[in-house]
């Protein structure tokens, strides 16, 4: 496959994964599909999961991947970037995408491991309080659905967080692989050319 065509094959899924990451991160600010928790969230009165506030899906998996995706896509078209220099630059842009994907992957993994912030209570904690009840469970709550009932508010917050953080995790893995492939593709394009004239 031509290096220019390979760039196009890589850029299109990167657009999709960046959009998915941005949407998931924005949705995580509204647990239980409620806006009240985001409005009430403030220091010392946390209502939103801490990992959501790192905005890894918006910044890392979103913007830091979207910008390289645009340049990678330009290397596949007949224009200013469809040359050896453009392919060389795509290596650097893809490296930025790798950093963004790793950031998003790390925070999504941490979000899954720590679980959501919620109003919770269990058999040992009779008075309900806001906090992160699964933070010390090392992710074991993921396989024990009975623990999910500890979270009283927002409704269904555990399923909500698990679903969206898992989606962020998968999107970041795909972005990471695609950006690494583009780094190799960019190296070949820099050495051999984009074969855009053939």
Tens-digit pLDDT profile for residues 5-27: 677 788 889 999 999 999 999 99
DSSP string covering 115-138: ---EEE--SS--S-EEE-TTTTTT
Structure tokens at 74: 């330009």
pLDDT reading at 184 higher than 80: yes
Helix (H) or strand (E) holding 151: strand 151-153
The C-alpha atoms of residue 139 and residue 191 are separated, in whole angstroms, by 46
The C-alpha atoms of residue 182 and residue 188 are separated, in whole angstroms, by 10
pLDDT reading at 2 higher than 70: no
Mean pLDDT of 134-138: 81
Mean pLDDT of 100-110: 94
Q: What angle do CA 167, 14, 35 make, to 5 degrees?
A: 45
65-74, 78-87, 178-187: lowest mean pLDDT where?
A: 78-87
Between helix 84-114 and helix 3-28 the angle, nearest 10°, is 30
Instruction: Report residue 47's pLDDT band, with 50, 70 and 90 as the boundaries.
Output: confident
pLDDT of residue 198: 44
The whole model's pTM is what? 0.85
Alpha carbon distances (Å) from 160 to 78, 136, 145, 195, 198 = 44, 20, 13, 46, 50
Comparing 48 with 173, the larger pLDDT belongs to 173
Mean pLDDT of 87-92: 80
Strands 118-120 and 151-153: antiparallel
């Amino acid at each position: 496959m031509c290096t220019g065509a390979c760039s196009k094959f890589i850029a299109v899924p990167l657009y999709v994964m960046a959009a998915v990451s941005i949407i998931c991160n924005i949705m995580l600010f509204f647990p239980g599909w409620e806006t009240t928790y985001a409005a009430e969230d403030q220091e010392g009165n946390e209502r939103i999961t801490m990992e959501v506030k790192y905005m890894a899906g918006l910044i890392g998996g979103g913007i830091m991947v979207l910008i390289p995706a645009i340049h990678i896509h330009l290397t596949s078209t007949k224009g200013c970037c469809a040359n050896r220099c453009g392919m060389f630059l795509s290596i650097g842009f893809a490296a930025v995408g790798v950093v963004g994907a790793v950031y998003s992957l790390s925070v999504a993994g941490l979000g899954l491991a720590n679980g959501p912030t919620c109003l919770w209570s269990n058999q040992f904690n009779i008075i309900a309080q806001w906090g992160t009840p699964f933070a010390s469970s090392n992710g074991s709550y993921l396989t024990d659905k009975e623990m999910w009932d500890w979270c009283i508010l927002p409704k269904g917050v555990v399923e909500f967080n698990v679903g969206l953080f898992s989606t962020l995790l998968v999107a970041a893995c795909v972005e990471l692989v695609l950006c690494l492939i583009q780094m190799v593709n960019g190296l070949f394009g820099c050495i051999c050319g984009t074969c855009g004239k053939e």
